[in-house]
């Protein structure tokens, strides 16, 4: 599974490098637009570090493509509606024990990104991230902790939180595997 994750990450980073190259953007220009050091951007682009999902979506926006293009190498195809059957979303594995399933990847021009997130318990705290838009998390099974800035809230099955994801944040499983639906509004 770890080898599969590394190969998937390499395909994503290869697509990012290819798009940056054909758009004639330097790594420095992209890093500045992301608001991160160029060394960190290059670690992401070369696969030395796992790319947070928020960075993938930000890079897609900078490049003027849908994140689905970067994640799968294929563009979304549906305008009026799209159906994603149970278990048929795009699996996105960015960190050990933390898996996303993109649920609306085939809809063109979407301004919200719904994903099913499965988290395994970990001995290390989550890597905190920030991104634009607004975010909603709804717990489907288990219990999660959501750190938002200096505050951590505990959510159980059926609980939800809506927050400003520009604030550093991260989620973690409490007492066993947990699943939650996250919806990120990318246009706010």
Read off the pLDDT of residues 129-170 as tens digits, 9 standing for 90 and up.
Answer: 888 889 999 999 999 999 999 999 999 999 999 999 989 999
Shared domain check, 129 and 65: no
| CA dihedral for 109, 106, 132, 26, sign (positive or negative) | negative
Tokens of 24: 């004639």
> What is the predicted pLDDT for the residue at 110?
86
Q: What is the CATH number of the domain that holds 161?
A: 2.60.120.10
What is the domain extent for residue 170?
111-185
Q: Is the pLDDT of residue 5 over 70?
A: no
> What is the predicted pLDDT for the residue at 123?
80
**Contacts of residue 155, Cβ cutoff 8 Å, sequence gap at least 6:** 137, 139, 143, 144, 145, 146, 161, 180
């Amino acid at each position: 599974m770890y080898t599969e994750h590394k190969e998937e990450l390499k395909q994503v980073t290869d697509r990012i490098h290819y798009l940056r190259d054909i758009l004639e953007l330097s790594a420095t220009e992209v890093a500045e637009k992301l608001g991160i050091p160029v060394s960190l951007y290059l670690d992401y682009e070369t696969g030395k570090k796992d790319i947070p999902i928020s960075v993938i979506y930000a890079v897609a926006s900078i490049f003027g493509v849908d994140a689905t293009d970067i994640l799968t190498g294929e563009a979304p195809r549906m305008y009026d509606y799209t159906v994603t059957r149970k278990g048929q979303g795009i699996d996105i594995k960015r960190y050990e024990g933390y898996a996303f399933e993109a649920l609306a990847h085939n809809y063109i021009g979407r301004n919200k990104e719904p994903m099913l997130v499965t988290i395994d318990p970990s001995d290390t705290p989550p890597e905190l991230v920030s991104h634009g838009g607004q975010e909603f998390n709804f717990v489907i099974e288990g219990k999660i902790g959501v750190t938002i800035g200096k505050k951590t809230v505990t959510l159980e099955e059926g609980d939800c939180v809506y927050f400003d994801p520009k604030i550093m944040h991260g989620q973690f499983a409490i007492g066993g595997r947990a699943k939650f639906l996250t919806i990120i509004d990318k246009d706010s």
